[in-house]
């Protein structure tokens, strides 16, 4: 009598797989509409920041609060 072996799946469409991981377990949260997501220009040379410090701090708080990896946190916030 042979033993049962689990079925092995091979992922061929990584972009769809990554999107599915981001969408898994979606939850809707309401944020303060006065919160500024985009960072104001600094006036210094170099690449300007994309997001404000408050937005980054909120994302990292969600990451720690729910115990998510960074990839799932970015999908969670999107």
**Is position 2 within any domain?**
no
Cα–Cα distance measured from residue 68 to residue 78, given in angstroms and rounded to the nearest whole number:
14
Answer whether residue 61 shows pLDDT above 80: yes
Residue 36 near residue 53, CB atoms below 8 Å: no
**Is position 7 within any domain?**
no
**Is position 4 within any domain?**
no
Res. 64 pLDDT band, cuts 50 70 90: very high
Which pLDDT does position 7 carry in this prediction? 81
Q: What is the domain extent for residue 65? A: 13-76
pLDDT in tens, 13-59: 888 888 888 777 667 777 788 888 888 888 888 887 888 888 888 88
- When divided into structural domains, the chain yields a total of 1
**Is position 6 within any domain?**
no
Res. 1 pLDDT band, cuts 50 70 90: low
């Amino acid at each position: 009598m042979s033993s049962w072996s689990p079925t092995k799946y091979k992922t061929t469409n990584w972009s769809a797989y990554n999107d599915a991981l981001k969408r898994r377990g979606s939850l809707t949260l309401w944020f303060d509409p006065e919160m500024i997501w985009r960072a104001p220009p600094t006036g210094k040379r170099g690449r300007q920041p994309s997001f404000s410090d408050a937005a980054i701090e909120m994302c990292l708080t969600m990451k720690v609060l729910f115990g998510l990896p960074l990839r799932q946190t970015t999908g969670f916030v999107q």
